[in-house]
Structure 1
Amino acid sequence: MSLARCILIHNTLLISRFVFCFARFNLYTQQRCGFRKAAKKVEPKRGSVEEAGQTHTEVAESLTPKRVAPPPPAPPTPTMPPRAFGRLVKPLVFTIGFTGCSFGSAAIWQYESLKSRVQSYFDEVRADWLEKIRPQKQGDLRKQINQWWNSLSEGQRTVTGIIAINALVFCCWRVPAFQRFMVTYFTSNPASKALCLPMVLSTFSHYSLFHMAANMYVLWSFSSSIVSMLGKEQFMAVYMSAGAISTFMSYVCKTATGRLGPSLGASGAIMTVLAAVCTKMPEAKLAIIFLPMYTFTAGNALKAIVALDTAGLVLGWKLFDHAAHLGGALFGIWYVLYGHELIWKNREPLVKLWHDFRTRGPGGGGGGSGSL
């Protein structure tokens, strides 16, 4: 055999081997892809047909030319449906009714206080006389508490009860068994099932100790001014009404913007107190507790607070409930300018009606006056 023929046969074998190897690789790939080989039929093992059928479907879908899907549109901004505003009708009615009941109860409370003040005068004289002839007790805890209580101003004594209620509610937040109840009734949320009671209860609710301490410190600081200006009965009516009104303002803004979420704290009612004092005494000097050397007028402080809450409401800041703050401040300004004349000074018909009821009732002696 010639050398050229041997080289030709060798090259032919190499080419055949190369083609055979390529055919095996291609067949293996096609079997994995689900294509069948017509030239060579291999009996598949049990279960391989189903596996091949599934692979064929997957590969056929992968090899089918697909249209490039356009990018999905940006998710729309969550908005409340128009019917959600219908849920605010009940809170609106509750706010109006609760405000009326607060001022009505305050008027009756003032009447009873004036009526009992005359009756208790002789009891106080008698108590002073007994105190003089009674031997004094040294270190009496009750006497020390009474001395401390008498040293407080009328405004400080009035807000002491509010601070005690806030402290009690704060302790309830620490009890795990109360968590569901506290979230339902002591946080205000327009998306919650309970809408009305939380408008008032959330005013006495604080989850953070720092939040409660800051609010109660401000309330304590301004208590003497606001109570000397309005009286304790009128102050309580304004404070309770401010809690409901500021929460309703928060409901409206949350529903309009779709930024639903729970809120709690006495900030809305305290903003009413601040706004009332600053409006009545705009030239009074105020100072920050940490920076006592920097003083500013109450009128400028009120303007800065209203501007800050307005900016927070427009820009959507989520650190505070700016709608409740702004609602409380506006209510305080309105009450000092117009509300006192429209509401409190027109309480005489209700007081006269209550006086007539008391004098006709058992034990009534007509000792009170129909006009206060």
Structure 2
Amino acid sequence: MLASLASRLSAAKPFRLSSPVATTRAFSRGTATNKPRHTMPDQSFFTSRASLRYQSNGFLLRRSFASYHHASHPGFVTSAIYLIIGLNTAVFAAWQYAEVTRDFNIIRLLEDHFLLSERNVKAGRYWTLVTSAFSHMHIWHFALNMMTFRTFATVLMWAGVGATQLVTLTLGSALVGSLAMLYHYRTRRGDSRSALGASGAVMGLGSAATCLMPFSKWTLMFIPIPMPLWLLTGLYAAVDIYFLDSEISPIGHAAHLGGTMFGAVYYLAYLRNYGGIWLSFRRLLRR
């Protein structure tokens, strides 16, 4: 039963790569402060070659490394990151246990409470609009989403984003991504697929990070060409738009786009004072 369900799911995966293993280089440029330099944690999904203090295009983040530890309480943010990853891990483990033991009671529980479907919404289980973003059935889907989530969340933390903002951004991106997927299926495709996965939330975090640091250089695993984050995000959005109405793609492109849009709106509403594209736009207006 679980195997047949898996073939019907529209799993939204973040990047098409063959291995979930990656490395990260420390940020290498100066921080305009005499305090010790802080570096990003290792084993992230991306490689970044840009400083968070000064970007290659002159974009300035308003908070220096020296103030991060006091302004955004990175310990709280780190706890929030691993809490979200832990919840995803628990639901993933439940799917695996149900598959191995063929426990149909657990399968039914997971289908009713951690699966995005029109049936669940019509039954009044509106929480599945969010809980489905904490649900993964396959190891590659789970691993890639969690590594990408951790990377973007850590970048936002070092940009000064606090735990409350990070959690709000994650949940909001998940919710809007789910709504976008349901709306697209109902109005354009006319089917009632089920879906799960954190990709909508991940894209929301990636969109916000792009608005904060659009010209920071990133390298995807096995693609040794550094690209600015705005180009990487833009290419991925273009792929989602191109395959949005595809009948053969199993990816939740509508959820990706919904999460991306929410992340950009959240940046404009709550994170623009941290710098990034809003600061650059204001400078252009003053000229």
TM beyond 0.5: yes
Distance 2:257 2:248 in 1: 13
Say which of 101, 105, 130 aligns to 1:200.
130
In structure 1, the partner of 2:195 is 263
* Aligned-pair CA distance for 1:190: 1.5
Say which of 141, 145, 149 aligns to 1:211.
141
In structure 1, the partner of 2:238 is 307
In structure 1, the partner of 2:154 is 224
Distance 2:194 2:268 in 1: 32
Distance 2:194 2:245 in 1: 19
Q: Does 1:169 align with 2:91?
A: yes
Output one character per residue of 1:239-264: Cα deviation in whole Å (capped at 9) or x when no partner: 11211111011111111121211100
Structure 1 spans left out of the alignment, 5+ residues:
1-151, 343-372
Q: Does 1:254 align with 2:182?
A: no
Distance 1:156 1:288 in 2: 24
* Aligned-pair CA distance for 1:297: 0.5
After superposition, the Cα gap between the structure-2 partners of 1:195 and 1:313, relative to the gap in structure 1 and judged at 3 Å, is: farther
Distance 2:76 2:216 in 1: 20
* Aligned-pair CA distance for 1:166: 0.8
Output one character per residue of 1:130-170: Cα deviation in whole Å (capped at 9) or x when no partner: xxxxxxxxxxxxxxxxxxxxxx9664433111111111111
TM-score (ref. length: structure 1): 0.48
TM-score (ref. length: structure 2): 0.62
- Matched-pair contact (CA < 8 Å) for 2:77–2:166: no
Output one character per residue of 1:89-117: Cα deviation in whole Å (capped at 9) or x when no partner: xxxxxxxxxxxxxxxxxxxxxxxxxxxxx
Output one character per residue of 1:311-348: Cα deviation in whole Å (capped at 9) or x when no partner: 11133443111111110001111211235479xxxxxx
- Matched-pair contact (CA < 8 Å) for 2:200–2:260: yes
Compute the RMSD of aligned alpha carbons.
2.0
- Matched-pair contact (CA < 8 Å) for 1:310–1:322: yes
Say which of 81, 85, 95 aligns to 1:159.
81
Distance 1:316 1:208 in 2: 21
Distance 1:169 1:220 in 2: 17
Distance 1:237 1:166 in 2: 16
In structure 1, the partner of 2:114 is 186
In structure 2, the partner of 1:274 is 206
Distance 1:236 1:157 in 2: 11
- Matched-pair contact (CA < 8 Å) for 1:154–1:224: no
Would you tell me which structure has more helix in proportion to its own residues? 1
Distance 2:173 2:108 in 1: 26
- Matched-pair contact (CA < 8 Å) for 1:190–1:254: no
- Matched-pair contact (CA < 8 Å) for 2:171–2:201: yes
Query: Matched residues, percent identical?
Result: 25
Once structures 1 and 2 are overlaid, which stretch shifts more, 194-203 or 164-173?
194-203
After superposition, the Cα gap between the structure-2 partners of 1:317 and 1:331, relative to the gap in structure 1 and judged at 3 Å, is: farther
- Matched-pair contact (CA < 8 Å) for 2:173–2:260: no
